[in-house]
Amino acid sequence: MKQILQSLKDGTTQLADVPTPGPRRGEVLIQTARTLVSAGTERMLVDFGKANLLKKVRQQPDKVRMVLDKVRTDGLATTLEAVQNKLDQPLPLGYCNVGQVLDSGGESGFVPGDRVASNGHHAEVVAVPRNLCARIPDAVSDEQAAFTVLAAIGLQGVRLVNPTLGECVVVTGLGLIGLLTVQLLRAQGCRVLGIDLDPARLALARQFGAVVVNPAAGEDVLAAATAFSRGRGVDAVIITASTKSSEPVSQAATMCRQRGRIVLVGMTGLELSRADFYEKELTFQVSCSYGPGRYDSAYEECGQDYPVGFVRWTEQRNFEAVLDLLASGALDVAPLISHRFALEQAVAAYELLSSGEPSLGILLEYPGSVAELGDQGAAPRAAGGRVVPLCVADTIVSDSVVKPAQGDVNVGFLGAGNYAGRVLIPAFKAAGSTLYNVVSSGGVSSVYYGKKHGFRQASTDGAAMLADSGVNTVVIATRHNAHARQVLQALQAGKHVFCEKPLCLTLSELQDIEAEAAQRPEQLLMLGFNRRFAPQVVAIKGLLDTVAEPKSLVMTVNAGDIPADHWAQDPEIGGGRIIGEACHFIDLLRHLVGAPITAHHSVALGRHPALAVRDDKVTITLTFADGSVGTIHYLANGHKAFPKERLEVFCAGGVLQLDNFRKLHGWGWPGFRSLNLWRQDKGQGACARAFVDAVREGGPAPISREEIFEVSRVVLEVAEGVRG
């Protein structure tokens, strides 16, 4: 299928071939009929991409601080590689989609054939969470419905202003959202004053019933607002403009009455004058996108709706309200359409967006969709368009099957996220494996990495990849809750398996994997415990193996805070950070000691109102069969500028200290003082190479199954104990 992608590196827009997504549970698969280009947000993304590096830096000072911290801790080369990889990844554009349901994705409340509006991307087929979709009334055309999401943004701003019948409200900035906001306020029974510099947009606002003022024509905005409010000051101001200046907010404060309300829907500078707000007791609020539920993963991704009695207007219910207004005729979007383009002409549409030529609502029409009676024909229509067959199992790049010969390592990747694309895929490529197929749920990342690294295929169908006889080795790099199921499926399909940690999230899953693996001794099962393969760890291991007495090991991990609602913190999806990351350090100490773990004890910080998450601030103590003791301080409450990982080993009158996998120092070790690296190396390359060599040569797995299962069991028990 075709999808519009944009590069953050150079700002180029392309119409790319990507595999058709398959819906996950709770998602709705939609065949697109129309999408609307958001002139504000999408122009900003394109302009950011086209900016040079210096301008990008100036626009995101917070990101610059993060980069500088990473340079200090991880080194320049590692940081530049991470930044380059981030900028190279294509970004799907668009969030105003209308189409027909192909697959309801289980209990979504929709059925195939429903017409729905959603925040899906500009693509022929999109998979959208159910709470971000709304059924379109029969009286509303596809073109009208394409404005649903943008109108919902304006509607949320109106709801925050909470206007009453007869109030006078100012709308500053009459782009698409501003003009939609004017109509919404008029439908609420408000008198509206519109402010903009564009005469054409002012004319549209006047057409929708607003009084208008044009500061570019020398008209006095404050005087107009005073007259409009009959000398009392306006009741409220909704700012839908996009500017770096703080003038719109300052101007809004000046024109408001005592206890007036100001809501920011657009983007402005926020250098506020306390005196302006203090003397009038003004309220100022920033509106968050489409409404309650936005950026809440439980609502958007997991489909957990808010009770209507407590949250009347969620994102989805705002969509429905907009569609009802369109159906009743209270909201008129036909005058807002300035251009129509066939999907094949999408690049021309984005060139128009950034050309400076006047435009407002730019609609994209998709192959297979039929122009409706409700569509207006006044706007110019670009030529082109073609019918594209749609199926869930699309593959791109090459569909040739090459069965692996003896010694070949034909790798299929399940998952193409940032870590897989930046680290794992290059590591397996450098190890000499054949990159055969890469699968991602959305398709964009699989195509990007498929082309970048030379895969034969890119797909969205993991089952088809597992059934492909051309693949004999599977790398699992998906979200953690999928690992156990995919490991079992890959083993049952007769593949060698490399699973990026963790192996599973529960002890019952571990038991199932152990039982399945026991029946398949000829298949390799490897877990991505890469740190034991790091060159400095190899040196430490060599030194410790010369010592017979027990060791004392202290691992300090400055893990860094991540939000409590991040998927990695969710016990059902990520398993929490002990399972997701601290497992590395339990394995590392187990490897260095070289003896089984006989006992473990863990303690987290105590319960406190300031701690949303406790199980990422933990001290873990391990005892080993040879008398060694290891302590892991896994702490997410430190500063990011401090190095992330430090290992200290004490034994036989000597000390070894490894600092963030860059500097290794030894005291009291004859013939060894230090081993420093010019760039950080946590062993990912050597780990992949060891596994690929074992597959190729038919040798034993680089990490024994016994150790993998032992460490996984300890990790799960530690996580369960800390939570309990």
Query: What single string gives the DSSP state of each residue in 360-413?
Result: -EEEEE-TT----TT----S-B----------TT-EEE-----PPPTT--EEEE
Tokens of 155: 């509607």
Where does 531-723 sit in CATH, by number?
Answer: 3.30.360.10
Domains in the chain: boundaries: 2-147+296-365, 150-286, 398-529, 531-723
- Position 381 pLDDT exceeds 60: no
Closest by CA to 683, choosing from 473, 477, 541, is 541
Tokens of 240: 């839908």
Closest by CA to 488, choosing from 464, 515, 470, 467, is 515
118/129 Cα distance (integer angstroms): 9
Each residue's pLDDT tens digit, 85-138: 666 678 889 999 999 999 987 667 899 999 999 999 999 999 999 999 999 999
CA Rg value for the chain: 29
CA distances from 447 to 189, 277, 304 (A): 50, 51, 31
Query: Can you name the residues that pair with 214 across neighbouring β-strands?
Result: none
> Phi/psi at 386 (nearest 5 deg)?
-150, 155
How confident is the model at residue 388, as a pLDDT?
25
Q: For the chain, first and last CA: distance in Å?
A: 47
H/E stretch holding 196 reads: none
CA distances from 539 to 166, 673, 708, 721 (A): 78, 11, 22, 34
Each residue's pLDDT tens digit, 664-721: 999 999 999 999 998 899 999 999 999 999 999 988 999 999 999 999 999 999 999 9
- Position 372 pLDDT exceeds 60: no
Find the mean pLDDT for residues 42-46: 65
- Position 295 pLDDT exceeds 50: yes
Q: How confident is the model at residue 301 (pLDDT cuts 50, 70, 90)?
A: confident
215/205 Cα distance (integer angstroms): 15
How confident is the model at residue 376, as a pLDDT?
37
Under a CB-based contact definition with an 8 Å cutoff, are residues 159 and 291 in contact? yes
Higher pLDDT, 631 or 77: 631
Of 3.40.50.300, 3.90.1150.10, 3.40.50.720, 3.40.1360.10, the CATH number of 150-286 is 3.40.50.720
How confident is the model at residue 353, as a pLDDT?
82
How confident is the model at residue 640, as a pLDDT?
84
Each residue's pLDDT tens digit, 220-257: 999 999 999 999 999 999 999 989 899 999 999 999 99
Least confident of 31-40, 102-111, 428-437: 102-111
Least confident of 44-53, 321-330, 400-409, 465-474: 44-53
Each residue's pLDDT tens digit, 61-71: 565 566 556 55
Least confident of 234-243, 383-392, 449-458: 383-392
Q: How confident is the model at residue 26 (pLDDT cuts 50, 70, 90)?
A: confident
Under a CB-based contact definition with an 8 Å cutoff, are residues 253 and 228 in contact? no
Q: Is 705 helix (H, G, I), strand (E, B) or coil?
A: helix
CATH superfamily of 2-147+296-365: Medium-chain alcohol dehydrogenases, catalytic domain (3.90.180.10)
Average pLDDT, the chain: 89
Give the orientation angle of helix 705-723 with respect to helix 507-518, to 10 degrees: 170
CATH superfamily of 398-529: NAD(P)-binding Rossmann-like Domain (3.40.50.720)
497/486 Cα distance (integer angstroms): 9
Query: Can you name the residues that pair with 267 across neighbouring β-strands?
Result: 242
Closest by CA to 181, choosing from 152, 149, 221, is 152
Least confident of 253-267, 302-316, 396-410, 677-691: 396-410
CA distances from 234 to 177, 265, 321, 412 (A): 20, 18, 26, 62
How confident is the model at residue 45, as a pLDDT?
61
Higher pLDDT, 406 or 560: 560
Which residue carries 């060698």 as its tokens?
A: 496
Q: How confident is the model at residue 383 (pLDDT cuts 50, 70, 90)?
A: very low
How confident is the model at residue 370, as a pLDDT?
42
How confident is the model at residue 247, as a pLDDT?
93
Under a CB-based contact definition with an 8 Å cutoff, are residues 382 and 342 in contact? yes
Give the orientation angle of helix 176-187 with respect to helix 199-207, to 10 degrees: 20
- Domains 398-529 and 531-723 are alike in CATH topology: no
H/E stretch holding 669 reads: strand 663-669
622/134 Cα distance (integer angstroms): 53
Under a CB-based contact definition with an 8 Å cutoff, are residues 492 and 464 in contact? no
Each residue's pLDDT tens digit, 476-533: 999 999 999 999 999 999 999 999 999 999 999 999 999 999 999 999 999 999 999 9
587/711 Cα distance (integer angstroms): 6
- Position 393 pLDDT exceeds 80: no
How confident is the model at residue 55, as a pLDDT?
55
Under a CB-based contact definition with an 8 Å cutoff, are residues 661 and 645 in contact? yes
